């Protein structure tokens, strides 16, 4: 149980496959939000902004894939009764 999640800030990420196993969804979201914050600050030069954009896009794709995998697991566990949305 001594597994430590990788520190995403020290990993070069340009595509979802760059994100190592064991990363928590919440950590990936926080890293993506950090990329957005840095981009929105306007302080990054052109090359850094492009790096941040690529990193953020890769993190977004990874998070979306993770959410879809969890949704599929929930649907399987509930026999396909997982609600797409609650209209009530």
The pLDDT, as a whole number, for residue 2 is: 52
The pLDDT, as a whole number, for residue 9 is: 83
Q: Largest Cα–Cα distance of the chain, in whole Å?
A: 50
The pLDDT, as a whole number, for residue 6 is: 76
The pLDDT, as a whole number, for residue 11 is: 86
The pLDDT, as a whole number, for residue 24 is: 93
Residue pair 31/11 in contact (Cβ under 8 Å)? The answer is: no
Instruction: Locate the domains of the chain by residue range.
Output: 23-77
pLDDT tens string for the chain (88 positions)?
456 667 888 888 989 889 988 899 999 999 999 999 999 999 999 999 999 999 999 999 999 999 999 999 999 999 876 555 555 4
Give the span between the Cα atoms of 1 and 4, in whole angstroms: 9
Cα–Cα nearest to 39, from 51, 24, 49, 29: 49
The pLDDT, as a whole number, for residue 34 is: 96
User: Taking the domain 23-77, which CATH number applies?
Assistant: 1.10.287
């Amino acid at each position: 149980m001594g597994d430590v999640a990788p520190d995403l800030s020290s990993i070069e990420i340009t595509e979802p496959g760059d994100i190592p196993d064991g990363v928590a969804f919440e950590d990936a979201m926080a890293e993506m939000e950090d990329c957005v914050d840095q981009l929105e600050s306007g302080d990054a030069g052109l090359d850094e902004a492009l790096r941040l954009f690529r990193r953020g896009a890769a993190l977004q794709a990874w998070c979306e894939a993770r959410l879809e995998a969890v949704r599929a697991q929930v649907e399987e566990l509930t026999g396909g009764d997982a609600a797409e949305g609650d209209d009530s």
